[in-house]
Amino acid sequence: MLQKFYPDEYLDSAYIIDFDALYRKGYRGVIFDIDNTLVPHGAPADARARALFAHLRKIGFQCCLLSNNQRPRVEMFNREIQVHFIENAHKPSRKSYLRAMELMHTDRATTLFVGDQLFTDVYGARRTGIHSILVKPIHPKEEIQIVLKRYLERIVLYFYRRSQNTPTDQERK
């Protein structure tokens, strides 16, 4: 039952993903969550985010930001990035993931998703049938409803790691 929340990959950061290798595998579009995936909650695009999107553009990727935040927040982040975006996305609803692929002219086989939350980001990507990469949150400060979800995520991640034969953070200590 919990498998529907399991990501295809789980990494420490969006900034360590080997996008060159993913492009060689045939991926052409990347859908990103913003807050705590690319920058701390509410922050503008920083130098690291700008460099990432410049690199993705150079490789040939199409990108789309997919956020449950309202338009002013997403526009503020996108000001220096200049990619497609969808605000108020209602993740994990499939509708916005499908719309993002339309905007990028990609399909399920050529699109991947990168986000920091299991129950919105990863679950939505899985429901849509696209490759999902879960990354650890950038910053510990989060809204209360997200903090509460993180407790449930820990349970799912425990079983995910066991299914992958990956030691949990506690087992590594």
Taking the C-alpha atoms of residue 49 and residue 168, their distance in angstroms, rounded to an integer, is 29
Question: Could you tell me the residue range of the domain that residue 58 belongs to?
Answer: 2-140
pLDDT over 90 percentage in the chain: 72
**Does some domain include residue 98?**
yes
The CATH number of residue 134's host domain is 3.40.50.1000
**62 burial level (CB within 10 Å; 0-12, 13-18, 19+):** buried
Q: How far is CA 167 from CA 1, 59, 161, in A?
A: 21, 34, 6
pLDDT higher than threshold 80 for residue 135: yes
Q: Which phi and psi (to 5°) does residue 107 adopt?
A: -135, -175
**Does some domain include residue 154?**
no
Instruction: Give the pLDDT confidence of 101-119 residue by residue, as tens digits.
Output: 999 999 999 999 999 999 8
Q: How many domains does the chain have?
A: 1
**Does some domain include residue 160?**
no
Residue 117 near residue 146 (C-beta atoms within 8 A): yes
pLDDT over 70 percentage in the chain: 89
**Does some domain include residue 68?**
yes
**Does some domain include residue 162?**
no
Residue 80 near residue 41 (C-beta atoms within 8 A): no
Q: How far is CA 19 from CA 7, 27, 44, 45, 57, in A?
A: 17, 9, 22, 19, 11
pLDDT higher than threshold 80 for residue 160: yes
**Does some domain include residue 109?**
yes
Q: Find, among 128, 30, 132, 42, the residue nearest to 85 by Cα.
A: 30
**Does some domain include residue 78?**
yes
**Does some domain include residue 88?**
yes
Instruction: Give the pLDDT confidence of 20-63 residue by residue, as tens digits.
Output: 999 999 999 999 999 999 999 899 999 999 999 999 999 999 99
